[in-house]
Amino acid sequence: MKWIVTCLLFISTIVAKGDIFSEPYVTKTDAQAYVQTLKKLTDVMVGDVTGPCAAARYYAYANMAAYEVIYQQARPAQYVSFAGLLKDYPGFSTVKPSQPINVELASLYAVVRAGEELLPSGFTLENARHQLVKEAGGNLSPAIIEASCAYADSIVKGIVKYAARDGYVKTSGYMRYTPFKEAGSWQPTPPGYMEAYEPHWGSLRPFLLDSATQFPPAAPVAYNQQKNSGFYKLAKEVQEVTSKLSQEQIHIANFWDCNPFFLNQKGHISFATKKISPGGHWMGITGIACTQKQLSLAETIRWHALVGITMSDAFISCWKEKFRSNRIRPETFINTHVDPDWRPLLQTPPFPEYTSGHSVVSSAVSTLLTTLAGENFAYTDITEVEFGVPARSFTSFKQAAQEAAISRLYGGIHYRDAIDNGLVQGKQIGNYVVQRLKLKQ
């Protein structure tokens, strides 16, 4: 990677003049370096078919590891201490390097090592870690490289311990979720009829929120099978909208699909198509924004860490509501009470309908990114191009969030109130994060 050669040549010049590199040096250029490193974790998550909630959790902790390296060693003006701010967050001020380190190498090494420790197939990141060390070897002394990696390891160790106490491990020991039998309750949907995804996610420890129920959405429209009822009208809207989609609406639905595990069926054969999660999509957008603004490495890490925390809390809040209201999906209701032959454009995901996860998360993250980058930050989103979905351009993050939300109606997987109220829920979470972190445009 060109970026590391440039900054390491700078360092080697200092050393050549006889100075000892004892102060951290944070480069002002090439956000792409961090974006490319984090992308390696995204690729592993795609291969692992990591679901939306778990992906957001991994992004949060991995980016926090890099953030903590920068904060402890460089203390940039925009950084704040997470100790005393995030729930139960440990202090890292007592973790000291054994000797002078290179902060850039340590921060990149930390995000890769966090991925190794946290992701189910994290061991596949070993080559990426070795590549970082190899590229540093031509310009940094073995002693500095060793100290930088050791320091990053010590930070990651603390982050992993912190992650182990968030309640995620406990969820694997809970009894298997059984769908309710009451009318209007969520039921598994075709083609896979998969069991509910992460029914206990709402019990996890949030990062910044006081609790998973701090920002409850407005109550959903009450379930009712009568044709003159509000609920029946919601379902009819889904059916009617999806029956006359324009090519643009189809593109919007597919662009924001973000289904990590799309189950294809050809005759008697089933196979999966793997893609990024909603969190992976918004991490991609964050990287595009950082690169476009040519942020420093430190600022790029800060933006990614704050986005990771925000979307992780948004998923916890949304999933708490999903399995509280436990609402039936449009596919189940329409096939039973409206049209047995109707099918949604997108594959219905395996969890309750209310509120729309993409609406909540997109609204929360877009609120944060708008505060960081400005109201009218125009960009072209190429995140899905590698999955065969053409790029789309946006005039703002809020426009993107609105489109992500309405895509769920076009896709036939959400009712309108889940979309609209999800946007409000996400905005409340995003505003709260901005307030707690005292962020300003």
At the topology level, CATH places domain 2-169 in Vanadium-containing Chloroperoxidase; domain 2 (1.10.606)
433's tokens: 């994060």
Prediction pTM value: 0.92
CA trace torsion 370, 372, 376, 377 (10° rounding): -110
Q: Residue 118 has what pLDDT?
A: 98
Residue with tokens 């990677």: 1
Q: Nearest 5°: phi and psi at 377?
A: -85, 105
Residue ranges in 244-342 assigned as alpha helix (H): 247-255, 278-292, 297-325, 330-337
The two domains 2-169 and 203-216+224-437 share their CATH topology (first three levels equal): yes
User: 385-398 burial string, b = 16+ CB within 10 Å, else e?
Assistant: eeeebeebebebbb
Q: Cβ neighbours of residue 11 under 8 Å, at least 6 residues apart?
A: 21, 25, 102, 139, 140
* Secondary structure element (H or E) that encloses residue 16, with its range: helix 2-16
First-to-last C-alpha distance (Å) of the chain: 32
CATH of the domain spanning 203-216+224-437: 1.10.606.20
67's tokens: 């953030």
Q: Residue 44 has what pLDDT?
A: 97
How does pLDDT run across 252-309, given as a tens digit for each residue? 999 999 887 665 666 555 555 778 899 999 999 999 999 999 999 999 999 999 999 9
Q: Residue 137 has what pLDDT?
A: 85
Query: Can you name the residues that pair with 269 across neighbouring β-strands?
Result: 266
Count CB atoms within 10 A of the CB of residue 254. 20
Q: Residue 95 has what pLDDT?
A: 87
Residue ranges in the chain modelled with pLDDT below 50: 1-29
- Given a contact cutoff of 8 angstroms between Cβ atoms, the answer to whether 136 and 162 are in contact is no
Q: Residue 268 has what pLDDT?
A: 56
Sequence spans of domains, the chain: 2-169, 203-216+224-437
Q: Residue 262 has what pLDDT?
A: 63
Residue ranges in 194-296 assigned as alpha helix (H): 230-243, 247-255, 278-292
DSSP class of 18: T
Residue with tokens 């069926």: 265
- Pairwise CA distance, residues 323 & 251, whole Å: 30
Q: Residue 2 has what pLDDT?
A: 37
